[in-house]
Structure 1
Amino acid sequence: MPEEESRADAAYKKLEEDIVTLKLKPGEAVTENQLTRDFDMGRTPIREAIQRLSWEGLVVIRPRLGIIIADINPSDFSRVLEARHALEELLARSAARLASKSERQALHDCAKDMRTAASEPDVQRFLQLDKQFDELVAKAACNPFASKAVAPLQTLSRRFWFRYFGETDLNPAAWSHLELMQAIEAGDEKSAVEKADDLMHYLRRQAAALVATAAPSA
């Protein structure tokens, strides 16, 4: 069972990254057989990964049509971030209070790597590190309920970023993450909440600009 669970997790992570980075494009249809062949995995882990991605809104399972990669609607980015905002503040506060020494060091290292990815710029690596950052904070916060609630919203946010912003503004994004990681690393709960709020407001400004750009002119 643990081996099967690890295979399902590996299948999920690979599929998630392919959807986030648009290797699997919005509206594209795939099948279990195709994914089993491409990933060189059994049907059970692939099926479990698909079910999880369906629950998170990244794929749509349609009888007789197969598995459809979810569309991207620019206006949804703001709604995703609105739902994320309070959860990110809660997790930041808890992580600043509860993170172990090794978790604080891991955040320090992640911040360094994120700055490097932003300066190159390497958007795929940046988003991989963003996911690593989210997972580190989730683990340090010791609140699995909040972590499970926010994880799909974080993934959707990365997908929006890759689709609409790419390499744009990676340095400001990296700096916003850096300040939050430093606050958590320092154990400063108040600052961690403030920096989480700053990060969310930064992303929400980006989302608002996206909606304004995408809106049809009168």
Structure 2
Amino acid sequence: MSADFSRSTQAYRLLEEEIVTLKLKPGATVTEAALTQRLGFGRTPIREAIQRLSWEGLLNIRPRLGIVVAEMNPSDFLKVLEARHALERLVAGLAARLASKDDRRTLEAIALDMREAAAKPDVADYLRLDKAFDEVVSAAACNPFAAKALAPLQTQSRRFWYRHFGEEDLTPAAWSHMEVMRAVAAGDEAAAMDHAENLMLYLRRQATTLVSGSGQAAAGK
């Protein structure tokens, strides 16, 4: 891995976390220069991170107007999960079948760390571990097309989760993720797919509750 690529990846992860955890608020306008100063990276890594996050739908690049952090609509959470559902099953099953020994050991370690983050509770740490989990499983699945389609959906999901749920449901969310990780680590393809299905159903129930609550609040105005 080149130094430039490594810096670009680091810049992307830091900027993504700033957006997911709402340190950069929806609708906020930022500039490349401000982000360079904020994150402590050179222009090239920041520019590449901005382009990637624009493709993922978290930043909107508007010529002469700046870079705008994407707004959030609760109803979009359900749409994100609808698109994500089948891909998660596919990737979990492939990862259980194809993961290396190092991948499996890494997932076991992430599962333990995630349990600790949920117990504290530490939402930011939990979401970092969720990102690590997603990246390990997607790489282990050896299907770059599925991984490329899935990554922005996972990031959008984390952002909605941080804003609307946070500590509230951290333990059941962590447990659902841990079941997927353990099945992948054990090489149990059927169980990995089943647990990925259960995770998606759990998240979709949460999203449905969110949308229903938003609709009721709007009707009551």
Same fold (TM over 0.5): yes
1:16-95 to 2 correspondences below 5 Å: 16-95=16-95
1:213 CA drift (Å): 0.6
Q: 1:161: which partner in 2?
A: 161
Q: 2:131: which partner in 1?
A: 131
1:47 CA drift (Å): 1.0
Q: 2:108: which partner in 1?
A: 108
1:217 equivalenced with 2:215 (yes/no): no
Q: Which amino acid aligns with 2:128?
A: Q
Q: Distance in 2 between matches of 1:139 and 1:111?
A: 17
1:8 CA drift (Å): 1.4
1:179 CA drift (Å): 1.1
Q: Distance in 2 between matches of 1:103 and 1:8?
A: 23
1:39 CA drift (Å): 2.0
Superposition TM-score, scaled by structure 1 size: 0.97
Q: 2:202: which partner in 1?
A: 202
Q: Distance in 1 between matches of 2:178 and 2:49?
A: 31
Size of the aligned set, in residue pairs, is 218
1:23 CA drift (Å): 0.4
Q: Which amino acid aligns with 1:107?
A: L
1:217 CA drift (Å): 2.6
Q: Distance in 2 between matches of 1:57 and 1:16?
A: 11
Q: 1:192: which partner in 2?
A: 192
Q: Distance in 1 between matches of 2:99 and 2:5?
A: 26
SS in 2 for 1:67: strand
Q: 1:147-178: per-residue Cα shift (whole Å, max 9, x none)?
A: 11100000000000000001011110111111
Q: 1:32-83: per-residue Cα shift (whole Å, max 9, x none)?
A: 1111122222212111111111111000011221000000100000000000
Q: Distance in 2 between matches of 1:101 and 1:5?
A: 26
Q: Distance in 2 between matches of 1:42 and 1:173?
A: 36
Q: 1:165-213: per-residue Cα shift (whole Å, max 9, x none)?
A: 0101111011111111111111111111110000000000000000001
Which piece of structure 1 moves more, 33-42 or 171-180? 33-42
Which piece of structure 1 moves more, 95-104 or 154-163? 95-104
Once superposed, what is the RMSD of the aligned Cα atoms? 1.1
Superposition TM-score, scaled by structure 2 size: 0.96
Q: Distance in 1 between matches of 2:104 and 2:202?
A: 24
Gaps of at least 5 residues in structure 2 are none
Q: 1:97: which partner in 2?
A: 97
Q: Which amino acid aligns with 2:15?
A: L
